[in-house]
Amino acid sequence: MINNIIAKTFIDMADMLETGSIKSRNTIALTGLGSELGEEVVIKAAQIATQNGLKIVYIGTQKCEYFECIYANCDADAHEVMDNLINDGKIQGAVTMHYPFPIGMATVGRIEAPATGLPFYIASTTGTTSSNRVEAMVKNAINGLAVAKICGNKNPSLGILNLDGAKQCEGILRALNSAGYEINFAVSKRADKGSILRGNDLLQGSADVLVCDSLTGNILMKTLSAYATGGNVEAVGWGYGPAVGEGAKLSILIVSRASGTAVIANALQYAYELAGGDFEKTIAGEYKKAKAAGLDEALKTLKEKSANPNEQVVKPPKEVVTAEIMGIDVMDIEEAVQSLWKFNIYAESGMGCTGPILMVSEANLVKAKEILVKNSYIQN
């Protein structure tokens, strides 16, 4: 152990004398096959990364004198080479295309906010952490926070994109926060504030970590990275990011077949940051803290709730409803209506400018809110 430390110290000193800075000896693999823009674009990205001090192993059909190249003429062969390098401990991260991840793993992308040019994370952008949408978003939040912390942001802010399941996701995350899993919730720049973020917040980068489902995140990454090129080339950002989930090991990052040189070079830098940041330990630590705050119990309740059909109750007599209750997730709105009918409170569902609303009479407003809070449809 002591000998290894001494050896690494001398290597770092040699790097400092040669380049003026100390660089980690971590090695990142890059596969070049499958790009719609040609393998030359990928090779150029590897050259840029090498110039920036990264140690690269390139897997593809082309050769370059600036880094090690291993021949492979198809995706299957390239991934076999990459997997062997991982298993042999010769690389500490990889950037590739088309890599299959099991359910439970999803990628955390990094992109620039158009309004500020500052980076933020989108969790997630490919793969899926769960077949249950809300459970997936909760896990995506934990994954996104873990990745931001690995890359140096010790207290990242977290916001949830305003889409189906957002309110349920927020409710679970706030419960975890209250129970000890600390989350720095972002605040929307819109007048109504809150941690449920709109399209305006997306453009302004109102949160360090933006939570959404994978399909939405994938579209956001493609749009934000390629809007300036008309969609032909993804020219902005760091790609779709590492596969993250409970038990995640070495970081394998995804780029698109339409990713340009700049994005691929950035993805290599992203992989390098993750390789040097205790990837496995940090992710395990985040899940340990979340579980200690009741993650498993919250997700179990969520599954039980979604598995049970709505209880059919008698609809009370119709009355004039002018009071609005906001903050109920669209997936829960009809269930929430029936929860009030059970107490003989007439209610109707509707859609306001900021999302679904539940309407009751002014006389029933206070009682209705108490029932909805008790049943976890809204926050107190």
- Please tell me whether residue 69 adopts helix, strand or coil conformation: strand
Q: What sign for the dihedral angle of Cα 67, 71, 77, 80?
A: negative
Report helix, strand or coil for 184.
Answer: strand
- Among 64, 69, 151, 353, the active-site one is 353
| 43, two tokens | 């090779």
Strands 93-96 and 251-254: parallel
Residue 169 known to be catalytic: no
Q: Residue 148 has what DSSP assignment?
A: H
Per DSSP, the residues of 30-56 read: EE-TT-TT-HHHHHHHHHHHHHTT-EE
Whether 94 and 253 have beta carbons less than 8 Å apart is answered as yes
Which helix (H) or strand (E) covers residue 226, if one does? Answer: helix 214-226
> CA-CA distance, 153 to 232, in Å (whole number)?
32
Encoded amino acid at 279, one letter:
F
Q: What angle do CA 78, 121, 242 make, to 5 degrees?
A: 20
Long-range contacts of 180-185 (CB under 8 A, 24+ apart): 180/289, 180/292, 180/293, 181/289, 181/290, 181/292, 181/293, 181/295, 183/141, 183/145, 183/158, 184/155, 184/156, 184/157, 184/158, 185/157, 185/158, 185/159
Nearest to 171 by CA among 59, 339, 331: 331
Share in percent of the chain as helix, strand, coil (round to 5): 40, 20, 40
| Contact in structure between 331 and 164 (CB atoms under 8 Å) | yes
Active site residues: 353
